[in-house]
Chain A
Amino acid sequence: MKKQQAILEKDKKKESSEEVVLELQDLNKSFDDNHVLKHFSMKLYKGENLVVMGKSGSGKSVMIKCLVGLMEADSGKIIVMHHDITSLNQESLDILRADIGFLFQGSALYDSMTVRENLEFPLRHHYKKLGKNVNTETLVIEALKNVGLAHTLDLMPAELSGGMQRRVALARTLILQPKIILYDEPTSGLDPITAKEIIILMQDIQKKYNTSSLIITHDVDCARVIADRMILLIDGTNYAEGTFEELSASKDPKVKAFFKQ
């Protein structure tokens, strides 16, 4: 019954939008002789949870960093909400970045600032996006309530556990109300229970804000729960694509290897 409901929900999502919000075309990136990404292409649809899986060092993080302009690709196109970010100037890129949330692998909270200041920081330059009458305090508290950590407002990141830090980082990502959220290994370094909490939180956020999510992970359990669609990144290429069920049933030895974990 539950499975059927999940399938129905996925179908609904597919029907609701075929709009591409993010597209990589023929992306190449090398570090000296090491070709990390080779003609990599993919699309992310509106409201979709796309999981990109790959081994460590397969170029997942490089790909996601190219996507937000933290790294420059050698060639190829990166189209985010109809803008090719490789041809944008810094100012336009910064405006576009307000629509892209990024959850870093290690949370990346500013350790010299309190939780409140961490959440206020992205608002400093993007308050216009949220309207003139925006109340910073309300936004911060609402974002923290979304992740169940409203009581940590005046704590320093060092006073929080790993799972709490990840949730605060997620709240910081949400505060600008992004249309796309990029998750870089959202469950890595967390115990299975906390990892599950984070996955549930990601699902709740997706439902509440109808965001499109690109999730980089090598956690099969995370992929099983959250993926509408999956891409396997092997040797820098888009090796296989499909739903979790399709890929896990694949007979290709390279694909099989992922699901044997």
Chain B
Amino acid sequence: MEIGELTYFTIRFFKEVFRRPYEFKEFLRQCYSIGNRSLLLVGITGFIIGLVLTLQTRPTLMEFGAVSWMPSMVGISIVREIGPMITALVCAGKIGSGIGAELGSMRVTEQIDAMEVSGTNPFKYLVVTRVMATTLMIPLLVIFGDAIALYGSYLVEHLKGDVSFALYFNQVFDSLEFGDIVPATVKSFFFGLAIGLVGCFKGYYCKKGTAGVGIAANSAVVFTSLLLFIIDFIAVFVADIFYDL
């Protein structure tokens, strides 16, 4: 039932996104709000992931005399999988729940009805701008998170193995291929789309008063997280066909 409604909601989004008038000002405001507010959280998470991944992997690689492979291994795993997935999950928690709660409270306090009654299209103003903003900002946040995670990994290598900045990052970029970067970036756009759509859907159709706002925020996170794993699986499956990973 809910999947059917979400599909209809998604179709409506794609119809409205190309229709005038465009809400550029609100779109830019949402981009700033979504991107700027998540920078710190994504940065800290990325940094810790980089540190932990390197610290955990180092002893095993040392056992096999393959510590020199560390930058390549960390680079590929962060860019291909860990970076986009962790960033998307963090953003689902922060941005998805925020959108769900904001639109949910607007629904129960009749603010969305007030927009509709004034002859404005609330779907365009509230939903299209937010979904567009998450679709655009999540890939940028993923790139930022990846860079911070790699820097965290470099710090561990620098402190434990005396590896220079240039050597570490040369090895990282040498090991990365087109087939690592493109699918990861493309799936980040879909992650952003999913976060925005589910958050907006849950909030826009929020029911049951103020209790419903909490339910909308919570279910936005749960449903988005599940959807992210499904999108990730599909993305890996498709990338495997095209790039023979």
Contacts and interface: CB of A to CB of B under 8 A. Distances in A.
B4 interface: no
Nearest to A169: B114
B83 to A, nearest CB: 32
Best-surrounded residue of B102, B111, B118, B121 (most CB of chain A within 10 A): B118
A98 to B, nearest CB: 5
A100 B117 CA distance: 8
Contacts of B65: none
Contact of B110 (A98, A104, A121): A104
Q: Which of B21, B110, B116 has the most CB of A within 10 A?
A: B110
A110 B113 CA distance: 11
Nearest to A113: B111
B120 interface: yes
A98 B121 CA distance: 13
Interface string A105-131: 110111110000000011011100000
A122 B111 contact: no
B109 interface: yes
A10 to B, nearest CB: 29
A122 B114 CA distance: 9
B119 A68 contact: no
Given A108-B109, A125-B21, A176 B118 contact: yes
B116 A70 contact: yes
A183 interface: no
Contacts of A122: 118-120
B122 to A, nearest CB: 10
Contacts of B114: 102, 104, 108-110
A68 B118 CA distance: 10
Contact of A106 (B109, B115, B117, B118): B109
A125 B115 CA distance: 11
A94 B121 CA distance: 9
A70 B113 contact: yes
A120 B106 CA distance: 18
B119 A105 contact: no
Contact of B111 (A68, A105, A109): A109
Interface string B87-112: 00000000000000010001001110
A106 to B, nearest CB: 6
B12 to A, nearest CB: 12
A200 interface: no
Contact of B119 (A65, A95, A112): A95
B120 A125 contact: yes
Contacts of B109: 106, 108, 111
Contact of B113 (A104, A111, A112, A172): A104
A172 B118 CA distance: 9
A83 interface: no
Nearest to B105: A111
Nearest to A71: B113
Given A106-B109, A108-B109, A125-B21, A68 B115 contact: no
Nearest to B102: A112
Interface in A214-245: none
B110 A68 contact: no
B120 A108 contact: no
Contacts of A109: 111, 114
A196 interface: no
A14 interface: no
A97 interface: yes
Contacts of A70: 113, 116-117
A94 to B, nearest CB: 4
Contacts of A95: 119
A176 B114 CA distance: 13
B110 A108 contact: yes
Contacts of A98: 118-119
A121 B111 contact: no
8 contacts: A70-B116, A70-B117, A104-B113, A104-B114, A106-B110, A108-B109, A108-B113, A125-B120
Interface of B: 21, 102, 106, 109-111, 113-121
Given A94-B119, A95-B119, A106-B109, 16 more contacts: A65-B113, A70-B117, A97-B119, A100-B117, A104-B114, A108-B110, A108-B114, A111-B111, A121-B118, A121-B120, A122-B119, A122-B120, A125-B21, A125-B118, A125-B120, A126-B118
Which 3 residue pairs spanning A and B have beta carbons closest together?
A122-B118, A108-B114, A94-B119
